[in-house]
């Protein structure tokens, strides 16, 4: 039980640290709707499901041995986040300063938003390195497969619940009213954050 609590605490701290997933969910919730944000949350959770499973299967060890593969994944992910950020910045610059219409983070259906959430999470291959580090730090050879996959399920469920909370919070009427007053600046800030995350991933390949 203490192992589950430890992993849960570490994961909660990681989730509470703002990153591309957080900004995607919060931006979608205030600019569109809670339903759209929850669709994005499902996509992000699917991404975490994928990365954490690969970490348990030892992908981070493969990435450490194949530096070119890690660099390729980080460049591809960085380019996607950079593209997302530039779209947000372009939308913010085109909006009138006093616009009363909510901006659109991603055009399309709930499925398109789910897909965007999935790609936002998958665009950061450092996630598998994070999960690999956490699992290797707390899981030894004595931990059997059922416990390992139980911890994997814990991480997935915790991620889903956290971002559902974030989506519900930012979709509240006061948050949306505040967004309508400051939408141009909020969109611009979110776009700049995505650009910085993208550039960080692209630049980080030189350190690998």
Inter-residue contact 28 to 184 (CB < 8 Å): no
* Residue-wise pLDDT tens digits, 59-109: 656 656 666 666 776 777 778 778 877 877 887 777 655 444 444 444 568
Euclidean distance between CA atoms 197 and 55, whole angstroms:
22
Measured distance CA(43)–CA(126) in Å, rounded? 17
At residue 136, the pLDDT reads 66
User: In whole angstroms, what is the distance from residue 28 CA to residue 150 CA?
Assistant: 31
pTM, 2 dp: 0.74
| Per-chain mean pLDDT for the chain | 79
Q: Compute the average pLDDT of residues 114-137.
A: 81
Contacts of 41 (CB under 8 A, 6+ apart): 25, 117, 160, 163, 164, 166, 167
Helix, coil or strand: residue 115 = helix
Q: Which residue has the higher pLDDT, 137 or 119?
A: 119
Torsion of CA 102, 106, 108, 114, to 10 degrees: -120
Distance CA 175, CA 5 (A): 32
pLDDT for the residue numbered 98: 47
Q: pLDDT tens digit string along 156-194?
A: 999 999 999 999 999 999 887 877 777 777 778 877 877
């Amino acid at each position: 039980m203490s192992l589950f609590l430890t992993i849960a605490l570490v994961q909660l701290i990681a989730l509470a640290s703002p990153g591309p997933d957080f900004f995607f969910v919060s931006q979608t919730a205030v600019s569109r709707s809670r339903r759209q944000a929850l669709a994005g949350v499902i996509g992000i959770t699917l991404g975490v499901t994928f990365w954490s499973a690969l970490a348990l299967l030892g992908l981070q060890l493969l990435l450490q041995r194949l530096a070119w593969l890690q660099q390729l994944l980080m460049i591809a992910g960085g380019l996607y986040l950079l593209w997302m950020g530039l779209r947000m910045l372009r939308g913010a610059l085109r909006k009138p300063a006093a616009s009363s219409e909510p901006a659109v983070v991603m055009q399309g259906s709930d499925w398109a938003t789910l897909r965007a959430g999935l790609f936002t999470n998958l665009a950061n291959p450092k996630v598998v390195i994070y999960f690999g580090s956490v699992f290797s730090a707390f899981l030894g050879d004595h931990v059997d497969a059922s416990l390992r996959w139980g911890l994997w399920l814990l991480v997935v469920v915790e991620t889903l619940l956290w971002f559902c909370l974030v989506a519900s919070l930012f979709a509240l009427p006061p948050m949306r009213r505040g967004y309508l007053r400051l939408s141009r600046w909020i969109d611009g800030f979110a776009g700049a954050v995505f650009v910085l995350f993208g550039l960080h991933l692209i630049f980080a390949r030189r350190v690998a």
